[in-house]
Each structure stands twice: as structure tokens, then as C-alpha cells.
């Protein structure tokens, strides 16, 4: 299973930008953790970050036939990136949304996440570890539990 991991605006500055909210792990460190998690489940990850919605859309279009699932942190694009959301939905692949912080509680402003209702998996506030959790959840959704050597039932529930 090949999983795309997409990072939106300002995430290239993780580790430097507001470490009190987003932690001290860099994007490279997070990507390495995601790669290890994916490998543990017999999957692989391909990473892309851009500060521009159009570049993310172009990447999804160019790679849609090379991937089977998507993990995305749309960051500041979260309430407005309808073209990115459409591109992701148009792949037909399951996708997970990851927000490092509590997206709805940031800066005391009301926030709308247009990705939330379409996501197969939605993780917010788990810090950078949310990416690895999203990989695990997508693999669990895609593969029978016996194939993974597990005897557990996994059901992702959305409100």
C-alpha cells in the first residue's frame, strides 16, 4: 500500500514555528517517523509539502494512480481549499485529515474544516504523532485484520 502524506502551508517550518503549539519535531523528523510506521505495516509513504493550494492539487492529480490512500494536514487551507478537497475526493482513495493541534480551539476563533465530513479518518490534537496514527488507521481500514496479524476489530466512527 502506498500512501501520500501531504502537508499544507507553513508546515515546512515545523520545529521552528510556534513550538509551544506545534512541538519541536521538524517536518523531516515527522516524515521519518511516518516512513517507519508505514514500513511496520508493509506500506510506504510518499511526502509532499507546499505553501500553495494549486501545487498540492497538481501533485494529487499527477500521482493519483500511484497511491492508494492520502494523509493530509491542510493547515491554513483547511476552511477554504475546496479545489484541493475536490482533487482528493476525485481520486476515490480513502483519506485521513491530521491536525497537530486542536484545530477548532486555535486562537479562540470559530473554525470550519471542510475536509472533516469526507475524511475516512480524522485526527486532531495528537501532536505530530497524529500522522503515524493516521497511517495505521488507513492501513487497518484497507486490510483484513488477519492479514495484519491482529485479532481486533477496528471501526472508525465520525460524529
Q: Mind listing the pLDDT tens digit for each residue in 46-94?
A: 999 999 999 999 999 999 999 999 999 999 999 999 999 999 999 999 9
Chain mean pLDDT for the chain: 88
pTM: 0.86
CATH T-level assignment (fold) for domain 2-142: Rossmann fold (3.40.50)
Could you list the residues known to form a binding site, using ranges.
Answer: 73, 86, 100-101
pLDDT for 19: 82
pLDDT for 104 equals 63
> Which pLDDT value is given to residue 149?
52
- Annotated binding-site residues for substrate read 73, 86, 100-101
Active site residue ranges: 22, 99
Cα separation of 98 and 83, whole Å? 18
Does position 158 have pLDDT exceeding 50, yes or no? no
Rounded CA-CA distance 72/134 in Å is 9
State how far the alpha carbon of 101 is from the alpha carbons of 128, 143, 150, in Å.
9, 29, 30
C-alpha to C-alpha distance for 70 and 33, rounded to whole angstroms: 16
Cell of 69: 490512500
Amino acid at each position: 500500500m502506498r500512501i501520500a502524506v501531504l502537508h499544507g502551508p507553513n508546515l515546512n517550518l515545523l520545529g521552528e514555528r510556534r513550538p509551544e503549539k506545534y512541538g519541536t519535531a521538524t517536518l523531516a523528523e515527522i516524515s521519518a517517523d511516518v516512513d517507519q510506521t508505514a514500513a511496520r505495516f508493509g506500506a510506504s509513504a510518499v511526502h509532499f509539502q507546499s505553501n500553495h493550494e494549486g501545487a498540492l492539487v497538481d501533485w494529487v492529480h499527477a500521482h493519483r494512480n500511484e497511491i492508494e490512500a492520502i494523509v493530509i494536514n491542510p493547515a491554513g487551507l483547511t476552511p477554504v481549499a475546496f479545489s484541493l478537497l475536490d482533487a482528493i475526493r476525485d481520486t476515490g482513495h480513502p483519506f485521513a485529515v491530521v491536525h497537530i493541534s486542536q484545530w477548532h480551539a486555535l486562537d479562540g476563533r470559530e473554525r470550519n474544516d471542510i475536509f472533516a465530513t469526507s475524511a475516512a479518518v480524522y485526527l486532531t490534537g495528537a501532536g505530530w504523532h497524529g500522522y503515524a496514527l493516521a497511517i495505521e488507521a488507513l492501513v487497518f481500514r484497507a486490510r483484513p485484520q488477519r492479514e495484519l496479524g491482529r485479532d481486533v476489530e477496528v471501526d472508525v466512527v465520525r460524529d
